Structure 1
Amino acid sequence: MEYFLSVVKQYVNFEGRARRREYWMYILFYLIFYVGAVIIDYVIGLGLIALIYSLALLLPSISVAARRLHDTGRSGWWQLLALIPLIGAIIVIIFLVQDSTPGDNKYGSNPKGING
């Protein structure tokens, strides 16, 4: 939960690097809360809660993905590949799953520590 809140607090921080754990824990809690919002929408019959939730967390999701790509040595603009149907999303997921580049890169120091 602390990773989720940390990302939400840094919602406009597109600089630096984010570890795999930070990114994937954010995604896990995002999905858990999204499923909860969908269930509430279904019970209420309104259908707006999940939409509002998704829109509210759009910017934090983009920023943490950019920092995660920075950790692999890529620009955050690589996220735009996800706009290509199927293939683009698969490529971006592969980039997001990869390990950090050891040591410092042009986006900052390695969040894992000195030795990677």
Structure 2
Amino acid sequence: MQWYLAVLRNYAGFKGRAGGLEYWIFFLFQLVLLGGLYALGLWTGTLVPYAVYLAATFLPTLALTVRRLHDTGRTGWWALIGVVPIAGTLVVLAFMADEGELTENRFGPQPDRRRPPTFDARRTA
């Protein structure tokens, strides 16, 4: 849960790098929460909670994807390939599954892959 909350605290942090564990734990939580909200919406006849949650987490999800791309040595602009139906999504997922660079790269130092990142608002200002 700490990994999920760490991504939400760094709401629009596009700088730096994100390790694979941070990405995949957030992805799993998103999948479970969106699936549950969608099922609830079908049961109640309204998808408003699903749409609100999806809209509220769009920016942190995009920021995390960009940081994960940075960890693999790619620019965040590669996230745009995800708008291509099916093939684009598969390419982005393949990039996310790629092991990050194990040394410092042009996007920053290697993230700690064992602990959730801490967010310091002063550092991003």
Following superposition, the deviation at residue 36 of structure 1 comes to 1.5
Letter in 1 for 2:20: R
> 1:41 is matched with which residue?
41
- Identity between Structure 1 and Structure 2 (%): 35
- The Cα RMSD (Å) is 1.2
Deviations 1:38-70 (CA, angstroms, capped at 9, x unpaired): 122122212211111100100000000000000
Q: How many residues align?
A: 113
> 1:97 is matched with which residue?
97
Following superposition, the deviation at residue 112 of structure 1 comes to 3.9
Does 1:22 pair with 2:22?
yes
Structure 1 unmatched ranges of 5 or more: none
Moved more, 45-54 or 104-113: 104-113
Structure 2 unmatched ranges of 5 or more: 114-125
Q: Which has the higher contact order (CA 8 A, sep 6+)?
A: 2
* Aligned CA distance change for structure 1 residues 99 and 53 (closer, same or farther; 3 Å): same
Letter in 2 for 1:106: R
Does 1:58 pair with 2:58?
yes
> 1:9 is matched with which residue?
9
Provide the C-alpha distance between the structure 2 equivalents of 1:87 and 1:64, rounded to a whole number of angstroms.
Answer: 21
Deviations 1:7-54 (CA, angstroms, capped at 9, x unpaired): 011011000000000000001001111111112212221221111110
Letter in 2 for 1:36: G
Provide the C-alpha distance between the structure 1 equivalents of 2:34 and 2:88, rounded to a whole number of angstroms.
Answer: 23
**Secondary structure of 1:107 counterpart:** coil
Provide the C-alpha distance between the structure 2 equivalents of 1:66 and 1:30, rounded to a whole number of angstroms.
Answer: 17
Return structure 1 stretches of 4+ with deviation > 3 angstroms: none
